[in-house]
Amino acid sequence: MRVRNKYRKSTAFPCNVGSRCSISIVVWSLVGFLLMLQIYSLISHRNTVSGDVKLHMSRHPLVRELEQVEEENIQIPPPKGKRSPRAAKRRPKRTTTLVDEFLDENSQIRHVFFPDMKTAIDPLKDAGNDSFYYYPARIWLDTEGNPIQAHGGGMIYDERSSAYYWYGEYKDGPTYHAHKKGAARVDIIGVGCYSSKDLWTWKNEGIVLTAEELNETHDLHKSNVLERPKVIYNENTGKYVMWMHIDDANYTKAAVGIAVSDYPTGPFDYLGSQRPHGYESRDMTVFKDDDGVAYLIYSSEENSELHIGPLTKDYLDVKPDMRRILVGQHREAPALFKYRGTYYMITSGCTGWAPNEALAHAADSIMGPWETMGNPCIGGNKMFRLATFFAQSTFVIPLPGIPGSYIFMADRWNPADLSDSRYVWLPLIVGGPADRPFEFNFGFPLWPRVSIYWHRKWRLPSSWRVTK
């Protein structure tokens, strides 16, 4: 006998047959709609991966040229020892990849990654039809005819002198290994500074923060590490403030250093170093928001996550507030920018001097949460995209007057000779639908896509150039 359980609630809606039917129509329509969105997301994601950018074309006429997709078809030479067919039969080797070739300093195609001095960009000589062209990875000469030394760099536009200042690691010394298993290194020489009105012709302003030759206990002693210097201007104090990664040769100190100057061209006074918020800090950057509040962003906890927190009003210290972001994602080389109220960041993976895949991230609030969008690289070939064009992010320069357009600054490190590391500058455009949205939001693009376009040769739109 079945006894009615008077405590059990009915699972059916308290309505008649007709309304139950219309509810199921609504539910199934919703399911169908979500399915369509998923399919749309998948298609747009596949298009992105295959390099088809039709969906992502920005409407701004000035940037169309920058968004053209340039392919690379580099022939990998046959692996050594496999040239004779008999040898090939005897011991088949795994095929060499472009990354293997890139890392092989004796590669036959070395000149593709590190073009020689004959192809150097010399803004004083390349005037006329050739002017303003960026050639990623070619040697870039300053106005005195010397290769620019500003690695892991950053940029400010100084309203007072109407000029750009590019700061970076001055690495013009011998590369060596401090320990058998240690990373390739160059002794600290200092922070180089270059000025320009057009972002192409660079005058060497000298070493604005110099190494310490004698005092071995000093952070800036040449045997230590100084990387990724970034400068911001403080309107409250009228000072230029430099933040940088300070470490020992084994990267165990994991700290940030702070220096200050009255002028963009230095000299900068070194104030000391700290572990921000009490945590390890390796690759880092600083970002100054529109409201004047500046933030420090650094890789921490063995590079497994990034930390972000505001600086004090004078930019000389961090405030106690800190958030962990991209936790467990193992990212470094952060470069931040902001467009229409949204914060964006490009990061690299953690593989020493070897190139790896870049990712773009976005957030509505700078303190997070930050979402990972995907690989922003377009063009070249698959390997180029998976290796960030054989370079690593360091900074993103806003281009006032061309909304949503930026220059992506990256370093093509040369671990065999770090002083000969190259600069890869490419157009970065924000626009079009997001490329990997469905994990978080059922196909609704939360943020526009961030795209970095490969070009062997490119320049800024002419309207931008004339005004500078």
Residue 219 interacts with ligand DGJ (CB under 6 A): yes or no: no
Binding footprint of ligand DGJ, residue count (CB under 6 A): 10
Closest Cα to residue 336, out of 264, 409, 433? 409
Q: Is 135 in the site for ligand DGJ (CB under 6 A)?
A: no
Q: Which is nearer to ligand DGJ, 142 or 411 (CB)?
A: 411
Please report how close the Cβ of residue 307 comes to ligand DGJ at its closest, in angstroms: 16
* Smallest separation, CB 332 to ligand DGJ (Å): 5
Q: Pull the structure tokens for residue 86.
A: 């008999």
Closest approach, Cβ 119 to ligand DGJ, in A, equals: 26
Comparison of 142 and 332: residue with beta carbon closer to ligand DGJ = 332
Nearer to ligand DGJ, 211 or 402 (CB): 211
Give me the DSSP letters along 125-188: TS-GGGTT-B-TTS-BB-TTS-B---EEEEEEEETTTTEEEEEEEE--S--EESSTTSPEE---
Compute the least distance from the CB of residue 415 to ligand DGJ, in Å. 8
| Member of 85, 341, 352, 400 binding ligand DGJ (CB under 6 A) | 352
> Residue 25 half-sphere exposure, CB side, CA atoms within 13 Å?
6
Instruction: Decide if residue 152 touches ligand DGJ (CB under 6 A).
Output: yes
Least distance in Å: CB of 154 to ligand DGJ? 12
Among 57, 62, 183, 446, binds ligand DGJ (CB under 6 A): 183
CB nearer to ligand DGJ: pick between 330 and 459: 330
Between CA 31 and CA 70 the distance in angstroms is 40
CA distance 103 to 400: 37
- Work out how close the CB of 452 gets to ligand DGJ at its nearest, in angstroms, rounded to a whole number: 17
The interface with ligand DGJ within residues 224-243 (CB under 6 A) comprises: 227-228
Asked whether position 410 contacts ligand DGJ by CB under 6 A, the answer is: no
Distance CA 350, CA 373 (A): 18
Q: How far is the CB of 318 from ligand DGJ (least distance, A)?
A: 20
- Beta strands 450-453 and 422-430 are antiparallel
Nearer to ligand DGJ, 185 or 436 (CB): 185
225 versus 378: smaller Cβ distance to ligand DGJ: 225
Q: Length of the chain, please? A: 468
> Which CB sits closer to ligand DGJ, 126 or 301?
301
Q: How far is the CB of 282 from ligand DGJ (least distance, A)?
A: 7
Judged by CB under 6 A, does residue 316 bind ligand DGJ? Answer: no
Coil/strand/helix, residue 360? strand
DSSP β-bridge partners for residue 242: 231, 259
Q: In the sheet that 392-398 helps form, which strands lie side by side, from edge to edge?
A: 377-378, 450-453, 422-430, 405-412, 392-398
Q: Which helix (H) or strand (E) holds 112?
A: helix 110-113
Question: Least CB distance from residue 379 to ligand DGJ, whole Å?
Answer: 23
Q: How far is the CB of 337 from ligand DGJ (least distance, A)?
A: 18
* 333 sits near ligand DGJ (criterion: CB under 6 A): yes
From first CA to last CA, the distance across the chain in angstroms is: 91
Indicate whether 354 belongs to the interface with ligand DGJ (CB under 6 A).
no
Q: Is the peptide bond before 369 cis (omega within 30 degrees of 0)?
A: yes
* Identified binder of ligand DGJ from the candidate list 280, 283, 305, 371, rule CB under 6 A: 283
Sign for the pseudo-dihedral over CA of 141, 146, 149, 150: negative
Q: Strand, coil or helix: what is 303?
A: coil
| Minimum separation from the CB atom of position 245 to ligand DGJ (A) | 7
Does the footprint of ligand DGJ cover residue 353 (CB under 6 A)?
Answer: yes
Q: Which residues touch 206 (CB under 8 Å, ≥6 apart)?
A: 192, 193, 265, 266
Decide whether 68 or 356 has the Cβ nearer to ligand DGJ.
Answer: 356
Contacts for 216-223: CB closer than 8 Å, 24+ residues apart? 219/246, 219/255, 219/257, 219/270, 219/272, 219/273, 220/188, 220/190, 220/246, 220/257, 220/270, 221/188, 222/187, 222/188, 222/189, 223/178, 223/187, 223/188, 223/248, 223/249
- Residues that bind ligand DGJ in the complex, under the rule CB under 6 A: 152, 183, 227-228, 283, 332-333, 352-353, 392
